C-alpha cells in the first residue's frame, strides 16, 4: 500500500506506507493499494475513509473493486464516485517474446510479426471523494508505480522550473491516471497496425498461396476484443462527464475553473478512447477488405487459368474433328488414297490452328495477365 499527500498549491508530495489519521491542511490524499491488500485490509481502509471523509464504501462497490473480471463502468453515490477502468496487463499481449528487448521490426524479420492471440486486461478501481482518492490496482501494477514516480519527480527543481503542475483534486488525479492507461491502448493500436500491414501484404502477395489463416483470425479477434473493451471505457467516461454536469456550481472562481478543467481533461480522455475505437474499427474493415481482395485475386487467377484451358481446348477441337473425320472406316473418301493427302491435311490443320490462336490472341484470350 502506498499513501500520498498531494498539495498542488505548495507543489509538494509526501509518501507513507500507513493510512492517514487526518486530512492534510492543504491538498488531498491518494491511497493506492493492490487488490489483495484491499481485500485483507478492508476493515482498516473503511475505518480510515470514515475518519477522513465521514462515509464508507457501500458493499456493492467493495465487491466491484474486488472483482477481477468487472468491465469498465461508472457508478456514484451522494458522497463519492466509483470508476472501474480496465488497463492492459503488462507482458501478456505478445506471444513472440524470446527476446524481450528486441525491436518489433527485427522480430518480424526473424520470425514474422508477434501474433496477438489474446489481449489481457485487468480492472483498476477508483473511489473519488472530495479530498481522498482510493485506487485498487492489480498486484505489481506498473501504472500505479509509473504515475507515483511521476508525482515524486514533479516536485524536483527542474520540474517546477518547467511548469509541471500537480493534480489539483482527486478527480484530476484519477483522470490523469486513466489517460496514462489509455496511452497503453494507443501503443497497442500501433502494434496491431504493423501486424495488419504485414498480413495484408502477405494476403495480396502475387503468385503465392496463403495458408496462415489462424494468425489472421487471431488478429481479427484481438481487434474485436479491443473494440469491446474501448466501448465499455468510452461509456464509463461518458457517464462520468455527464455526472460532472450535475455537480453544484462552484461559489468561487477557483472552484468554477477547477470544474471546467475537469471537463476539459475528461473530454480529452474520451477523445483518446474514441481515437482507439475509430482506428480499431478501421483496421477491422481493412482486414475484411484484405481477405476479400485475396479471394477475389484467387478467383481471378482461377478464371485466367480456366480461360486459357478453354482457349486451348477450342484450338484443338477442330483438329480433333478433322482427325476423327479421316479416321472413319470408309473405302472411298477424298484425298485418302492420294500420295499427298496426308501432307495436305496436316498443313490445313496447322493453318487452322494458327488462325484460331491468332484470333484468340487478338481477343486476349491467351494474353499474359498480371499475377
> Is 253 among the domain residues?
yes
Cβ(13)–Cβ(154) below 8 Å:
yes
Strand ranges of the sheet holding 121-128, from the earlier edge strand across to the other edge:
12-16, 2-7, 28-34, 132-137, 121-128, 81-88, 73-76
129 with 74, same domain? yes
Which of 258, 280, 297 is the last residue before a domain boundary?
Answer: 297
pLDDT tens, N- to C-terminus, the chain (371 residues): 888 888 876 768 888 888 888 888 888 999 999 999 999 999 999 999 999 999 999 999 999 999 988 899 999 998 999 999 988 864 444 434 334 444 444 544 444 554 555 677 888 999 999 889 999 998 877 788 888 888 888 776 555 555 567 888 899 889 988 988 888 887 777 777 777 777 777 777 776 777 777 777 777 777 788 888 888 988 999 998 888 888 777 667 777 788 888 888 889 888 888 888 888 888 888 878 878 887 887 787 788 788 888 888 888 888 888 787 777 777 777 777 777 777 888 888 888 888 888 888 887 777 655 44
289 with 317, same domain? no
> Is 65 among the domain residues?
yes
The CATH number of whichever domain residue 95 belongs to comes to: 3.30.460.20
The CATH number of whichever domain residue 318 belongs to comes to: 1.20.58.340
12 with 69, same domain? yes
Predicted structure pTM score: 0.70
E-strand ranges in the chain read 2-7, 12-16, 28-34, 73-76, 81-88, 121-128, 132-137
Instruction: Give the closest residue to 353 by CA, choosing from 324, 321, 299, 316.
Output: 316
At residue 59, the pLDDT reads: 92
105 with 26, same domain? yes
193 with 283, same domain? yes
Query: How many of the other CB atoms lie within 10 Å of CB of 241?
Result: 16
Q: Quickly list DSSP for 211-278.
A: --HHHHHHHHHHHHHHHHHHHHHHHHHHHHHHHHHTSPPPSSHHHHHHHHHHHHHHHHHHHHHHHHHH
> Is 86 among the domain residues?
yes
> Is 368 among the domain residues?
no
- As a 3-state breakdown, the chain gives helix, strand, coil percent values, each rounded to 5, of 60, 10, 30
288 with 313, same domain? no
Which of 269, 297, 325 is the last residue before a domain boundary?
Answer: 297
At residue 134, the pLDDT reads: 93
- Tell me the residue range of the domain where 7 lies: 2-297
Which of 247, 265, 297 is the last residue before a domain boundary?
Answer: 297
> Is 369 among the domain residues?
no
Domain count, the chain: 2
Q: How far apart are CA 333 and CA 353, in angstroms?
A: 23
313 with 291, same domain? no
At residue 308, the pLDDT reads: 80
341 with 282, same domain? no
Angle formed at CA 251 by CA 247 and CA 254, multiple of 5 degrees? 95
Amino acid at each position: 500500500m502506498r499513501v500520498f499527500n498531494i498539495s498542488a498549491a505548495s507543489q509538494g508530495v509526501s509518501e507513507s506506507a500507513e493510512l492517514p489519521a487526518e486530512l492534510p491542511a492543504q491538498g488531498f490524499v491518494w491511497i493506492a493499494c493492490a487488490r489483495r491488500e484491499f481485500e485483507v485490509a478492508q476493515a482498516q481502509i473503511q475505518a480510515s475513509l470514515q475518519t477522513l471523509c465521514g462515509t464508507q464504501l457501500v458493499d456493492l462497490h467493495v465487491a466491484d473493486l474486488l472483482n477481477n473480471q468487472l468491465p469498465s463502468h461508472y457508478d456514484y453515490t451522494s458522497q463519492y464516485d466509483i470508476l472501474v477502468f480496465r488497463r492492459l496487463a503488462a507482458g501478456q499481449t505478445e506471444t513472440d517474446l524470446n527476446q524481450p528487448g528486441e525491436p518489433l521490426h527485427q522480430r518480424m524479420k526473424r520470425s514474422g510479426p508477434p501474433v496477438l492471440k489474446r489481449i489481457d486486461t485487468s480492472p483498476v478501481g477508483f473511489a473519488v471523494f472530495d479530498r481522498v482518492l482510493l485506487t485498487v490496482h492489480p498486484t505489481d501494477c506498473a501504472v500505479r508505480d509509473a504515475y507515483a514516480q511521476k508525482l515524486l519527480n514533479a516536485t524536483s527543481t527542474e520540474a517546477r522550473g518547467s511548469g509541471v503542475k500537480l493534480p489539483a483534486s482527486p478527480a484530476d488525479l484519477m483522470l490523469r491516471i486513466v489517460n496514462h492507461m489509455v496511452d497503453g491502448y494507443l501503443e497497442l493500436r500501433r502494434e496491431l497496425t504493423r501486424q495488419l500491414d504485414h498480413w495484408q501484404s502477405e494476403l495480396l502477395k502475387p503468385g503465392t498461396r496463403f495458408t496462415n489463416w489462424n494468425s489472421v483470425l487471431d488478429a481479427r479477434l484481438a481487434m474485436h476484443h479491443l473494440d469491446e473493451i474501448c466501448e465499455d471505457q468510452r461509456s464509463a467516461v461518458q457517464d462520468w462527464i455527464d455526472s460532472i454536469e450535475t455537480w453544484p456550481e462552484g461559489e468561487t472562481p477557483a472552484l468554477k475553473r477547477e470544474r471546467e478543467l475537469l471537463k476539459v481533461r475528461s473530454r480529452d480522455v474520451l477523445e483518446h478512447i474514441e481515437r482507439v475505437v475509430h482506428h480499431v474499427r478501421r483496421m477491422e474493415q481493412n482486414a475484411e477488405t484484405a481477405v476479400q481482395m485475396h479471394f477475389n485475386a484467387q478467383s481471378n487467377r482461377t478464371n485466367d487459368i480456366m480461360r486459357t484451358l478453354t482457349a486451348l481446348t477450342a484450338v484443338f477441337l477442330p483438329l480433333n474433328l478433322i482427325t476423327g473425320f479421316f479416321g472413319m472406316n470408309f473405302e472411298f473418301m477424298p484425298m485418302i488414297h492420294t500420295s499427298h493427302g496426308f501432307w495436305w491435311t496436316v498443313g490445313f490443320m496447322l493453318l487452322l490452328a494458327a488462325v484460331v490462336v491468332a484470333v484468340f490472341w487478338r481477343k486476349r484470350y491467351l494474353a499474359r495477365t498480371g499475377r
